[in-house]
Structure 1
Amino acid sequence: METHTEVLLVTANVGSLFDNVGEIQNEWLQELYKTIRTYQPQFIALHFQEVGGKEYMVNMGHAEEFFWSIESCEALKDFDRRCIYVDNQFQTEESFTALGSMYFIHKSLKNIRQYDFSVKDFKAVPGLDKYVGSLDGVTTMEKEKFPKTFWPDFKWSRKGFMRTRWIIHDRGLDLVNIHLFHDASNLIACNASPSIYSANRKNALRHVINRISDNCHTPMPFFLFGDFNFRLDTQSLVQHLSTSAEVQTVKKDSSNEVEKIICEEKTDRQVLLLIEDKLFAYLYQAVFRENNGKALLKYDKEVAAFHDVVREEEIQFPPSYPYSEEYTKPTQYMNTRCPAWCDRILMSHTAQQFIHSGTDGERSVIYDTVGPNVCMGDHKPVFLFFALKTNEH
């Protein structure tokens, strides 16, 4: 007999929650709890990136309070099994990823087991499995930081992935928390199509997919969700945005290096677009919000290289990054980067087959942001809610 288990997957880059401790965290948590109460899932997976923020050496204590707030909240009181993994061991630079994964199982969900990667078998989920630290020796998850060789020309940063594996009734799933490399410079991102950063992300994502699909453990359907740092094809987008403008490239006196790109409207000389290393100031920012930025999705090309193995629900929300961190400007973007759909939930083709699409009167698949009208930091969390098709034993 086919049964349905309601699942909520959430990905959130939480770095700015710790860099602005106390300012936005409470509202952020309330929006998460509101999402949980609205959809009432039986299984929740929360994937966090940049735990502790940029100043993680100072803020890691606040991170533990943040996880405790979620653990002890009223919205999760009927979830009697919890598995928590937080990599906060920043002292070990060669393995530190700043990833955190939390899994909550509702008391109504009886038939669920978790994989132990050391014995290659599934086991019952105890009431609370909580690991905070280096995560070395934890056998119910796999974690890997990307090797330095992946981007030798750029600063080595806390990017990598973390995997857990589950069986819900008879349905096996890998859930992978992922954080890929960002665009370090807007000017370098404009140099080529696709950009060098896009090529780096492509290599890293292919590495992750190969790792979770190898024969070390029997390959299973998977959901990959995290901060992929996917960006719009900046070179093509700038050409599009500046079709009616005069483009001027300013170079540094001391070298031939480009310092800024200025696009001025030909008629009134108004600056339409100004690009520097860490500045992307577009005069008509509303284009990224109008109709959820749909007109710009054609420049969102990075996931297309993986359509052989993954797919995604249709995006019907504005770019998830970089939002203003000012409390009073929850829908405004910062002028630091070109807005993009960085935070995503991708799935293998086999996983997609197990999603119940819903019929009339039933809630269907929901793919959206958490807190669209509330300041959530520079990233809006992204969630996927669906009913997983299973067979009752």
Structure 2
Amino acid sequence: MATEKLANVMLITANVGSIFEEPDTLMPIWMKEFFETIKKMEPQFIALHCQEVGGKNYHDSMQHISTFTRLLLESEEMKSYNRARIYLDDDYKTEEKFTALGCLYFIHESLQNIFLYDFEALKFRFISGKDIYTGSKLFETKTHEKLKFPMEFFPETRWSRKGFLRTRWSINDSIFDLVDIHLFHDASNIIAAEKSPSTYSNHRRKALDHAIQRFSSDKYDKVPFIMFGDFNFRLDQYGVIKSLCAKATAEYLKENDEIKRVTYIENDNKNKVILTMEKKKFTPHNPKIYTENKGRWLRKFDREARYFYDRLYEYDVEFPPSYPYSEDLNKGHDYMGTRIPGWCDRILLSHSARDLVQKDIVHPPNYSVIGPDVCMGDHKPVFLFFKLIGGKDEPPRKRAKSE
């Protein structure tokens, strides 16, 4: 390519459940950190993928969606982004379809060669103005594809808000898909620690396999794709405990033959508890093991993404685990004692999508977190900033129609 057309692109994944639960305290902090990051990086295209829109108590908290979108669209910091497409799955009354996913896309006035795909008409559309799709309007628009995972994929075959939402873009004639995804969580620490890989890990692997295979076998043209969301990837808990408690003895508290608590006690010091674990409690004697040296020793137990490295690529992870952070406003660096921390929030590229990223040695892609020093809720938003290389395809503007 003689001359490369480059576009500054910023992809962000954010599980926003906490800020919908505590909008008066957490939402202003979240927005401040988001805007400061945007100001610093100056992206021309922002893709914000959210999970748990409305929070866990979405029946009561879904009302805060309008505040969330208004703060983003009407802020002084975003005034140069003159086009937007926002998809919010807020219809919780249709349980078999509800995913609580939100995809928010903002386009800077300096970026002109950009188009959005219509999955029904099989053609790209011009983008103008700012449109928000919620409720029934979300089902009517065909510029996205939303799918909840089949019931048999869910642990215990019970519905939860898990699935993915896909959009297709052309920027400077580079065509690619952006996929917001939310996979299954670990319901019980005790079950997660039984074996490696865990039962939950196997469920996540099956669901992600399903999504990737769908993209390779559906009726649409095959294009590079980037998946970013809450993959819920957890550390190999079996391996972590084996490492932490190699010189400890496990004592079990049971009720009706069910394990309720496991206490690991140092072999040579019966008064020293190394770790206490319950269904929703994971408390090591020394919680600093998570934050020392950015938790790098834990990386060897971060194995779930590696299964997909033949199909997906991830830039080096240099940030601490993104979940579960304390929701105490004064403890922005601390983790809750509910789960072993993990890199749940990720940005993964198909190998063909990696070819769209400029290989700049001086200014390489930036893969990091937003708000590392403040409370952002139980998840830290994760972002990838890079320069997108223009493509050689037939310009979509020659075949696009107005949206």
Fold conserved between structures, TM > 0.5: yes
Q: 1:206 maps to what in 2? A: 209
**Equivalent runs, 1:121-270 vs 2, <5 Å:** 121-134=123-136, 135-151=138-154, 153-252=156-255, 254=256, 256-268=257-269, 269-270=271-272
Matching residue's letter, 1:261: V
Cα offset for 1:123? Answer: 1.4
Matching residue's letter, 2:235: L
Aligned residues: 389
Verify: 1:284 aligned to 2:290, yes or no. no
Matching residue's letter, 1:209: I
Cα offset for 1:155? Answer: 3.3
Task: Structure 1: state its 5+ residue gaps.
Answer: none
Cα offset for 1:80? Answer: 1.1
Q: 1:30 maps to what in 2? A: 32
Give the SS at the match of 2:5: strand
Q: 1:364 maps to what in 2? A: 364
Matching residue's letter, 1:16: S
Identity %: 47
Verify: 1:52 aligned to 2:54, yes or no. yes
Q: 1:373 maps to what in 2? A: 373
Alignment root-mean-square deviation, CA: 1.3
Cα offset for 1:238? Answer: 0.6
Give the SS at the match of 2:161: coil
Contact 1:165 1:175 in 2 (8 A): yes
Scaled by the length of structure 2, the TM-score of the pair is 0.94
CA distance in 2, matches of 1:203, 1:232: 17
Contact 2:20 2:54 in 1 (8 A): yes
The partner residue of 1:311 within 310, 313, 318 is 313
Cα offset for 1:364? Answer: 2.0
The partner residue of 1:10 within 12, 15, 27 is 12
Task: Structure 2: state its 5+ residue gaps.
Answer: 396-403
CA distance in 2, matches of 1:45, 1:152: 30
Cα offset for 1:154? Answer: 4.9
Matching residue's letter, 1:202: R
Cα offset for 1:384? Answer: 0.3
**Equivalent runs, 1:55-66 vs 2, <5 Å:** 55-66=57-68
Q: 2:97 maps to what in 1? A: 95
Give the SS at the match of 2:235: coil
Contact 1:213 1:220 in 2 (8 A): no
Cα offset for 1:216? Answer: 1.0
CA distance in 2, matches of 1:195, 1:150: 15
Cα offset for 1:244? Answer: 2.1
Contact 2:155 2:203 in 1 (8 A): no
Scaled by the length of structure 1, the TM-score of the pair is 0.97
The partner residue of 1:326 within 325, 328, 331 is 328
Q: Cα distance 1:152–1:38, how it changes in 2: closer, same or farther (>3 A)?
A: closer
